[in-house]
Amino acid sequence: MSAAARLRGIRREVERLTREKRSAVVVALTLAAFDDLVRELGQYKPSLCRDLFGLDVLRSQLARPGSITVALGNILSTDAKPSTSVPVEFIVCGRNDIQAADESLLRFADLVGPTATVTFPPSLDDALLSDYIGTIKPRLTKMGLCEEESTRKYPLGEKRNCQPEGDSGEGNKAG
């Protein structure tokens, strides 16, 4: 999946979430990705969280069913206590080169509450996938997934196996 295909997939996911009256926080890891997301999601008039002042906006939006917020990932801090009972989907546009940075996003979402889920829509240009590109493309095709689809969503607190198929690793726990 290209970066452009990932943006289209995120837009489709946001469209679905707004129909279901679920709040969505679309997380950008860079300023360039933030600007791309704001353009791509412009029709939804998303709230913007690009600095510390934006955290107050984000907190208020989380309590509103069907709200859309575009947030810069490095702003989301576990010091903020954004608890809500409204279902919230965090859609992360990209992956960090360091797993701990992705895990900090999971910890932030975990503070939102048990109805929060996190999705990392795949892109075959992600650095973390570069060693597996040859094996991933045929698997996505075999599963019948278009290049703009997320392959899986992880409810927070769910034990998930992050090892490649056939590996007997213990897996990781989100949250």
Segment 83-110, tens digit of pLDDT: 777 788 999 988 777 788 888 888 888 8
The pLDDT of residue 52 is: 80
The pLDDT of residue 98 is: 79
3-155 CATH pick, 3.30.470.20, 3.40.50.300, 3.50.50.60, 1.10.10.60:
3.40.50.300
Rounded to two decimals, the pTM is 0.71
Tokens of 45: 């008039």
77 three-class SS? coil
The pLDDT of residue 66 is: 87
Residue with tokens 């998930």: 160
Tokens of 117: 């889920």
Percent of the chain scored above 70 by pLDDT? 68
**pLDDT, tens digit (0-9, with 9 covering 90-100), for 108-167:** 888 888 888 888 876 666 666 667 666 766 776 777 665 555 444 434 333 333 333 333
**Does 127 or 30 have the greater pLDDT score?**
30
Tokens of 136: 């991933």
Residue 3 CB partners (closer than 8 Å, separation 6+)? 36, 123, 125
